[in-house]
Structure 1
Amino acid sequence: MNRVNSIRVESGAWVCYDHPDFRGQQFILEHGDYPDFLCWNGHNDHMGSCRPVGMHGENFRLEIFEGCNFTGQCLEFQDDCPFLQSRGWAKNCVNAVKVYGDGAWVLYEEPNYHGRMYLVERGDFRNYSDWEAHSSRVQSVRRVVNFF
């Protein structure tokens, strides 16, 4: 099955991909109903694979960097940010990320949590290709919060 018409997430959070083997465009689904692919920010009804996302814990934070390999301007987040430039971020791109704690964050290409989304979990991402993005464009960030 690779076509999905609707989804109900009853617990936890999931990252789904439009290709098998956890490849392709990512969709982050949290508790709730998604009556059609437009509701999960999809461009079509193809769903190739899914996996659960870990819960967030203490010391849950994100650092973003202007340059690759953690260089240039740096900004830290512990809460969602609908528009990076409102927090003093000078550009519309992020080239490196560090995720601390047991949680996950979603990076969005557009302000207000729109556009392509990319899941980043604990670890160091030295370049946007490390989180499988096609470009460094990031304009909003949001924590993944699991509801059980």
Structure 2
Amino acid sequence: MHQSIEVDEKIFQDAVRFYGTVFNIPPLASKIYAYLLFDYEKVGITFDEFVEVLSASKSSVSTSISLLLNAQLIVDHSKMDERKRYFFINDEYKKIRFEKIVQKMQDELKLLDDLNTFKKVKDDGYNERIEAYKVLLNKNIKNIQESLNKL
């Protein structure tokens, strides 16, 4: 079997390191994700191609693909007349990723409010820093949501 896509080795290695760190995924999962980045034509990459090109065992590739699917980083598709599954980068993931970031910031704002309500002793210096932090969180939430609406 041959590679169905052209890959630049340096960019591939840079992408493996970057996405492995950003998504906190194991090296093989990061390689699969990075390899899919080069599928510009969206033809999809088969399981067998990953096994061959990445020189990995079928079980390791299967585990990594499952992790990526569960994390919604990739999607799969089967053609009507074939049993093979084709894998693609999930184009919606950028939106999903930032929606999760917004949700975490909103959760933190609620937690800060709950802690402030519970706190019995008032410390003006502490309250000013917390309020400044909450303003920052709210500005970032607003900016991200505006950008998400454009996606």
Q: TM-score, structure 2 length as denominator?
A: 0.22
Q: Which has the higher contact order (CA 8 A, sep 6+)?
A: 1
**Which has the larger helix fraction?**
2
Bigger-Rg structure (1/2): 2
**Which has the larger strand fraction?**
1
